[in-house]
Structure 1
Amino acid sequence: MAHRQPVGELDPRYSSGGAAPLGWERARRLLVAAEVFWLSTVRPDGRPHVAPLLAVWLDEALYFCTGPTERKAANLADSPHCVLTTGRNLLGEGLDLVVEGEAARLTDDAALRFVAASFETKYGPDWHFDVRDGCFRSGGGAAVVYRVAPSTVFGFARGSEYGQTRWRFR
């Protein structure tokens, strides 16, 4: 499948003098390889909510799951706008990514089986999910699955050159 190749735009306000925009393929590889993401949503009263979770990058989107009664699911039912972040916690090196988009619930069992297989391939057999009735099933519990296609991704590079690259998808 051909991947969308958005063009990166460097923001000189937050970049070293000699920095250049990062290529999307580098950011995409990091999204595929990253093991932990942080999901930011907004509670109905406007307060932020942030939680770590696992996610897989497939078909140019991030997929994650959560319990149907968890705060994340309640927040997304009220507003699908969310942010997923991943990267490194080192000041002098690394690339952090911020993925902005809207979470859409995935309920098609065939699509869910593909996503479930991807979770198990990436994270191992402890992350095996059966699929039934539009949900992941494991250990007697259900999890709802969301797809977040990026509207904008920001990349924050650190090292010999600091740079902020923005990729727009719409």
Structure 2
Amino acid sequence: MKEPITKIDPRFSDPQAVATPWEETQRALETAQLFWISTMRSDGRPHVTPLVAVWLDGAIHFSTGPEEQKAINLRQNPHVVLTTGCNDWKEGLDVMVEGDAVPCTDNAMLKRLAEAWATKWDGSWKFEVRDGAFYHPKGGKVLVFAVKLAKILAFSKGSFSHTRHQF
């Protein structure tokens, strides 16, 4: 992954604020326990739902059942936003990842991702890998997507800053 171009947006930042370094934003993506994904329904209405995701090899990855609303939406429109952060106004970092969801079907990569899912959540998320997909132990195919990054926004609170990481 190439390093992004990082710039602070002074219009939405405190005068003394500095840009959030890419390393800090990436760490937030690596350690986040929960994300919210936004997709678009065929009639143009937004769909937002929580999910777990894994940062691996310079991309954020998420999964969904083939008949879940987000999977249906992605068949027509690959544009997504994944959001994570904290609900505290005085401190923390909120991060928005914008890009296109691309199916991940390579079994070798899926095995690495399955291991990452199991490790990150202490074994709570376990998947088998076969035929270019995850399979849940209780049955059922699970699609996996990588987000092809367009930009990542980082909003620092306390000393408010609005940082754009452009890819």
Both proteins in one fold, TM over 0.5? yes
Paired position in structure 1 for 2:147: 148
Give secondary structure in 2 for the equivalent of 1:18. Answer: coil
The alignment's C-alpha RMSD in Å is 0.9
- Within 2, Cα distance between the matches of 1:22 and 1:14? 13
- Within 1, Cα distance between the matches of 2:18 and 2:104? 37
- Within 2, Cα distance between the matches of 1:15 and 1:87? 18
- Within 2, Cα distance between the matches of 1:115 and 1:141? 17
TM-score by length of 1: 0.95
Residue deviations 1:97-118 (CA, integer Å, cap 9, x gap): 0000000011111111111111
Paired position in structure 1 for 2:56: 58
Paired position in structure 2 for 1:45: 43
TM-score by length of 2: 0.97
What letter matches 1:53 in structure 2?
L
Unaligned runs of 5+ in 2: none
Determine if the alignment matches structure 1 residue 81 to structure 2 residue 79.
yes
Aligned residue pairs, count: 166
Give secondary structure in 2 for the equivalent of 1:124. Answer: coil
- Within 1, Cα distance between the matches of 2:134 and 2:122? 16
Instruction: Report if aligned partners of 1:60, 1:149 keep a CA contact under 8 Å in 2.
Output: no
Identity %: 47
Unaligned runs of 5+ in 1: none
Paired position in structure 2 for 1:23: 21
Paired position in structure 2 for 1:113: 111
